[in-house]
Structure formats: structure tokens, C-alpha cells
Chain A
Amino acid sequence: MTEIVRSTAAALAERLAAGEVTSTELTEAHLDRIDAVDGAVHAFLHVDRDGALADAAESDARRARGEARGPLDGVPIAVKDVLTTRGLPTTCGSRILEGWIPPYDATVVTRLREAGLPILGKTNMDEFAMGSSTEHSAYGPTRNPWDLDRIPGGSGGGSAAAVAAFEAPLAIGTDTGGSIRQPGAVTGTVGVKPTYGGVSRYGLVALANSLDQAGPVTRTVLDAAMLHDVIGGHDPRDSTSIAQEWPSFTEAARAGSTGDMTGVKVGVITELAGEGWQPGVMARFQESVDLLVKAGAEVVEVSCPSFVHALAAYYLILPAEASSNLAKFDAMRFGLRVVPDGDPSAEEVMRATRDAGFGDEVKRRIILGTYALSSGYYDAYYGQAQKIRTLISRDFDAAFGSVDVLVSPTAPTTAFRLGEKLDDPMAMYLNDLATIPANLAGVPGISVPNGLADEDGLPSGFQVLAPALADDRVYRVGAALEAMYAEQWGGLLLDRAPGLETE
């Protein structure tokens, strides 16, 4: 069982194809691992043992008939609780959706089902994906498998912790300002935010619809690429979905894993360093850059001057969109309804329900967004933030005029302690400093584990950003870096994670 749960998805796919193992065995092994460690980690909000085993049995039957639907048919997966799953609870980490069972699947989930991946369950998250630590979940925090007193990142801490704790070989995350990449960095796992429009948002409960993007959460770059190939591509049900054929990301990752970076021009972003960046994180970053040079890449420093305004612009655009998107939680058609005493009006029911159903951070952002969109402040805040967005896109365009990819540390620090930043919103927001520009400009990004910081022995991450539509580049460069580290370390960074006590 240990050997199964520690395998990469790509290795499991090969063993399924070779008939050495069944999907039922794989799925049972992961369900058992969840039983053994999730009491401590709390990566899952809901585990669907029966459903996953039924899917696995069907997968095994298909394979026996010679009708496997693709390489990942039968490899189990965990899904962030912000994507709708027909027949399975979807709470978005919020009390307001407690017990809600969607009548439809998100397109990402449909594609997982069509590709034959058994769904193990739904993973924990900051409420409506607002946060960088998963502490804002109404159902209690997820803990970092490297140190159970520390945060697993957020908002997708559940998905990252699930793969880091070997509870699932693959998971789906969503990234609005870094919610796939930052948890990847602090848990020693791989996370990819695809180009905006590359993966359908249909059935993804919107936080900020112009920024949200679902993507892979895995332990290796190749696994992420294989999963991206399953979930990506045009969807007529999402009007922002890009209608084009995408290259095979699996092939891009395989090409990169040769470790040859000859002819690749890499830009180090000047603005994503300096004050507030943990020395151990910066040291690992410099080593990664040196490795890329050794592999033949040409490295230059590139200035993106408007990036210093990205965080401020993001914390106006996001609350503005979120306050509008969350207006649908009105206690009328789905979710919680709290009825005050007497003969309350619909408006009074709405107000009482939203008070009881939303947590602190959600209320903070709804109020902030309502403020930013108010007449008198709209031009100064929201209007200005949208212009900054243009300037950030122009910085990316200028940078990608001279380099193929941009790189930075994924997050300024390693995992902090639970509770440390919970009541200091600005300190919490700073975790997303390096990841936010990609969301504002819609470009793809990956976080790859690049070692442990000297100060605390905790994982750090290396971010690679590419131009919109050039997602293949983040897989190629990410896989190259991963291959060089694998040679140096004799395996994955996660091999060095302390074991978890099992129940």
C-alpha cells in the first residue's frame, strides 16, 4: 500500500496499462491512506468511498475489455470543493452551502469522469477561495503535512496537502491570485495555473470570474501535464473559454525532463525580491537559477515596474467581483436560510442568512468590494485598478518580447504557523505578492519544489511564468528543473517530508 500511494500518477498509469495493478486496488489504497492520516491533516471535507470504488470497478471492467479511455483511466483524484460535483456535497468551505448537493457537474469534473478518474472526495479550502492559509474554511483548517502546526497555503490547502500527504496522487485546484501555486510552494508539491480560458470555469463557483482558473495539483510536473491534457480545452459552456487546439502538455513535460535548456531565455523579475523575502527562500531561488544556467539557459534580469502595484490592484478588483458574485447567496434558491423571529421580509432573511453563513474574511471582502464599486469611489479605486491591470499586461508583453519565460520565488516565505496571520489581513495578502501578476494578466504559471529553506527546513517553490497560450513552456522548464533536482536529491523533495502518524 505504501508503495502504491507514494507512486506518481504517471507510474500508476503505466502499471495499470501493464495489468500489474487494478484501479480498485489503487483507489482502496488511497482511501485507506485517507482514513489513516486525514484525521490529523484534514485535507478532505468529504470522502466518497462508495462512489470512488464504483468508478474504479467500472474502470477495471473497461480496461479488461480493452477500452481504457486514456492513460489516467483508473487513477484516483481529489477535487477542490469549489467545483460542482453532481451527487456530492459542494460547500466552497462555507456554512452558507453546508449540505448543498449540486444537480450538475463542473466541466472539469465531467472531463475527469469521462477520462475514467475515480473521485476520492472534495478538498478543504478557504471559504469561497478567499485566503492564503486554508484557515478561513468554515470547517476548520487543513494542516501542512511537513509540520502539522503550520499552514498548507491557500486557498487550495486541502488539494495541496492531499497530494503532499499521499492521500491522492492527483488533485484539482483553482487559482485566483495564487491558490494553486502558493500551496504548492509551501507543501513541496507542483501546482499549475493555466492560461485564463485554458480550462473551463463552468461549474467553478466564481470568486473573481475574470481571474479564476482551475488547474492541476500534483507531486511531479509530468503528472500535472497529463492532468492538464485531460481537463483543458474549449468548452462552449464557458464564454471565456479559448477556442483553439492546445499542444500536448505531456509531451512538453517529457521534452523538458531531458534537462536541456539550451536556447531558452529566462528573465528574473527584479521587482519580486528584496524586503520581506525570506533569505532561505531567496537562497533556494538563486540555486534554481544557477541550475538553469548550467542546463544551458540564458538568464537575464527583467524589470516589470508595474508589478509593485499588482497587489493593490488585485485587492480592489477581487473584492469588487467577489461582492457581485456572492450576491447570489440570497437564501432563496439554494443554501442556508436563516429566518429571524416574527414575520421577517425577504430582505431581513437575506441579511440574517448572510451574517450567519459567511465568515469574517468573506464579509471583509464583500464590504471592501461594495466600497470600491460605490459611486464616488469607483473611478479612484476600481477604475484605477483596471488600468493598472493594463500596465501589468504591458509589462508582461515587454518582458516576453525579450525572454521566453519569467521566473521568481513562488511565495515570499515558507509555511507560517497556524493563527500567525489570521487577524492581520494585509500580512496574509502579502503571501500572494509573486503569484498575483499572472492572474491579472491571464498568463500561465507553475510552481515547482526547489528545496528547503535553511532557517526552518520547510519547502520553497520556484515559479515559472510564460506568455498567454504558451502553457507548454512552463511544463518544459518546470520539468527540466525538476529533473536536475531529482538527480541532485536522488528523488523528489517530498521524499524528505517527515512521516505522518497513522491511525
Chain B
Amino acid sequence: MPEITRDEVAHLATLARIDLSDAELDHLAPQLSVILDSVASITGVAGDDVPPTSHAIPLTNVFREDVVVPGLTAEEALAGAPEVEEQRFSVPRILGEGA
């Protein structure tokens, strides 16, 4: 049975950029183990000869004419932004202290 430890959940939360509280970690780890245990039944069901399916109705190379069509105005694109400065998205600092 695949176990997922509290530490692993904490690591995954870091990868997924979600701060999880101690209470959430305590709650999530056993729940994820139950889910993983249930889905583990598929391991080994399909052999190497079975190709994977990413989309059920496969379409490839959808092209269109390269014509100019109106897009969003800057105001529209910025309308939902948490913070705006000089017609741009204003974001927190990217680099660490002293970088």
C-alpha cells in the first residue's frame, strides 16, 4: 500500500506553492494515503503494448490564417489585477533579500 507521509505532503505543498498549516498537513496526509491506496489498483493493469491516451478525440495541427483580430485593451487586461502600476501588473519582489 502506497503511504504518503506528512513530510512528503509538506514537500508537495511547497512544489505546488501552497502554505499548509500543521492542522492541514495532519488532516491531508492520511486522506491522501486512502486515495492513493484506492487508485493504486491500476498499477500493472495495462501492459507496454498499450499506448497512452491524452485526448480521447485526437486532433493534430490545428491551423488558422495569421490575421490580426482585436484583443483585450490594456485596461481590460489589467482590470482584474491585484495591483497595477503604469499600465503594468505590479508584482512583489522576485529575488531574495540581498540578492
Contact = CB atoms under 8 A, between A and B. Distances in A.
Given A101-B79, A366-B16, A312 B39 contact: yes
A242 B9 CA distance: 40
A381 interface: yes
B42 A240 contact: no
Contacts of B43: 380, 384
Nearest to A236: B64
A388 B56 contact: no
B4 A371 contact: yes
Contacts of A312: 38-42
Contacts of A349: 92
Contacts of A309: 41-42, 45
A347 B17 contact: yes
B7 interface: no
A292 B13 CA distance: 51
Given A389-B53, A426-B38, A323 B45 contact: no
Contacts of A346: 91-94
A265 to B, nearest CB: 23
Interface stretch (A59-67, A174-182, A335-343): A335-343
A285 B92 CA distance: 57
Contacts of A390: 46, 50-53
B interface secondary structure, majority: loop
A345 B18 contact: no
A242 B64 contact: no
A393 B56 contact: yes
A363 B28 contact: yes
A226 B72 CA distance: 32
Interface stretch (A120-128, A325-333, A411-419, A493-501): A325-333
Interface string B45-61: 11000111111110100
Contacts of A391: 45-46, 50
Given A309-B42, A312-B41, A426-B38, A101 B82 contact: no
Given A313-B42, A332-B89, A441-B56, A366 B18 contact: yes
A386 B20 CA distance: 30
B26 interface: no
7 contacts: A339-B92, A344-B92, A371-B12, A374-B12, A387-B46, A388-B45, A390-B50
5 A-B pairs closest in CB distance? A442-B56, A386-B52, A387-B46, A337-B82, A334-B80
Interface of A: 100-104, 195-197, 210, 236, 239-240, 242, 306, 309, 311-313, 315-316, 323, 327, 330-337, 339, 343-352, 354-355, 358, 360, 363-364, 366-368, 370-371, 374, 380-381, 383-391, 393, 425-426, 429, 440-443, 468
Interface of B: 4, 8-9, 12-13, 15-21, 24, 28, 31-32, 34-36, 38-46, 50-57, 59, 62, 64, 72, 76-77, 79-83, 89, 91-97
Given A315-B38, A429-B35, 13 more contacts: A309-B45, A312-B42, A313-B42, A316-B42, A339-B92, A350-B17, A367-B13, A368-B36, A374-B15, A386-B52, A387-B52, A390-B52, A390-B53
